[in-house]
Homo-oligomer: A and B are copies of this chain.
Amino acid sequence: MSYQHYRLEELARLVQGELVGQADLCLQGLASLELAEPQHIAFVNADKYVEQAKVSKAGALIVTPELQQQLDTHQNFIVVANPYLAFAILTHVFERKHTQTGIESTAQIHPSAIISESAYIGHYVVVGENCVVGDKTIIQSHSKIDDFVEIGKECFIDSHVTITGEAKIADRVRIHANTVIGSEGFGFAPYQGKWHRIAQLGSVQIGNDVRIGSNCSIDRGALDDTILEHGVIIDNLVQIAHNVKVGANTAIAAKCGIAGSTIIGKNCILAGACGVSGHLSIADNVTLTGMSMVTKSISEPGTYSSGTGALPNAQWKRAVIRFRQLADVPLTQLQKRLDHMQTQIESLESTLKLRK
């Protein structure tokens, strides 16, 4: 629910676009072409959406010059080179802002913690010994900031987040609800048939502008720290094991898991549900497609994939039976045998011709 109103000319100025139509048109929000009403502005970013745009009830449209020409159905536009980027900028205008500052009376703050006056600490938050919370940072209800954790400025920590392991979080970091940062890594030494816990003494370092989704687990390191470099973005339900290092601006989609001590390069893209084994090194600019299983280091940039997409069940069953048989079928030999036999047959044919 948005209470803000903006005039079309204000929005045009914000995205540095050209205003066409009614400058003081009042707009209350962004909407999709399909569901927009006259108080909404929508965007069109490709020819394939032109038909949908023509029948949209949106009060104004964000378009390129070429798209505007096709839309004689509408009068009010913001004309830009990149409508998707303009849309992205305007989402921040219409987003409901959190304005409250201060510490709710129900929060438990350790006397030694240093919390900026412009920060907001929500209901039932617990902040521990020697913690630091920077300017304009928002920590929503119920979150737990354990001893010696430091959080920079303009961060957003949603509800039910647990931050422990003396994690150090830089500026403009956004961590979504119910995520765990700095919990103990899975360090166990097998000895005489039982597992012996290795206490994890490292920490977590999170750089500027990192975003972590909900229900993620980012473990503290064993001795050295687990590291997320600047600009890393992570989706929900992701596992980052102890001593993983993720390079700057790498994007990790939901349900990925990266095992211990693996180093991921910069500018990588890991699609949903990838699994990366431990102690590997993945170069910069590597893309993994969905559900890829990476068991060896990758030294060359590029796109890598694994798995076999869904087939109708009956066909899949036959393919799986063959896959198992593959273990004992010397495929490359088959081709060689065929080639050899081809030669033998041709020789026989020649011989027969000669003797005619």
Contacts and interface: CB of A to CB of B under 8 A. Distances in A.
A215 B342 CA distance: 60
27 contacts: A1-B130, A91-B201, A106-B108, A124-B126, A159-B164, A160-B180, A176-B180, A176-B183, A193-B249, A214-B219, A215-B216, A219-B236, A237-B257, A254-B257, A257-B272, A272-B277, A288-B310, A302-B313, A304-B310, A304-B316, A305-B313, A305-B317, A306-B311, A318-B327, A319-B323, A319-B326, A351-B352
Interface string A248-263: 0101011101010000
Given A178-B162, A215-B215, A239-B236, A195 B315 contact: no
A141 to B, nearest CB: 5
Nearest to A106: B108
Contacts of A289: 313
Interface string A121-147: 011101000100000000011101011
B329 A329 contact: no
Interface size bucket, A side? 35 or more
Interface in A160-208: 160, 162, 164, 166, 174, 176-180, 183-184, 186-189, 191, 193-201
B186 A236 contact: yes
B306 A310 contact: yes
B303 A275 contact: no
Nearest to A296: B309
A235 interface: yes
A324 interface: yes
A147 B233 CA distance: 26
A32 B341 contact: no
A215 B180 contact: yes
A37 to B, nearest CB: 12
Contacts of A177: 144, 162, 164, 180, 183
Contacts of A255: 239, 255, 257, 275
Given A184-B176, A217-B214, A344-B345, A310 B294 contact: yes
A162 B309 CA distance: 34
Given A35-B224, A164-B158, A345-B348, A308 B323 contact: yes
A308 B318 CA distance: 11
Nearest to A295: B309
A85 interface: yes
Interface in A274-308: 275, 277, 288-296, 298, 302-308
A241 interface: yes
A231 B126 contact: no
Nearest to A107: B123
B251 A195 contact: yes
Interface stretch (A17-25, A63-71, A331-339): A331-339
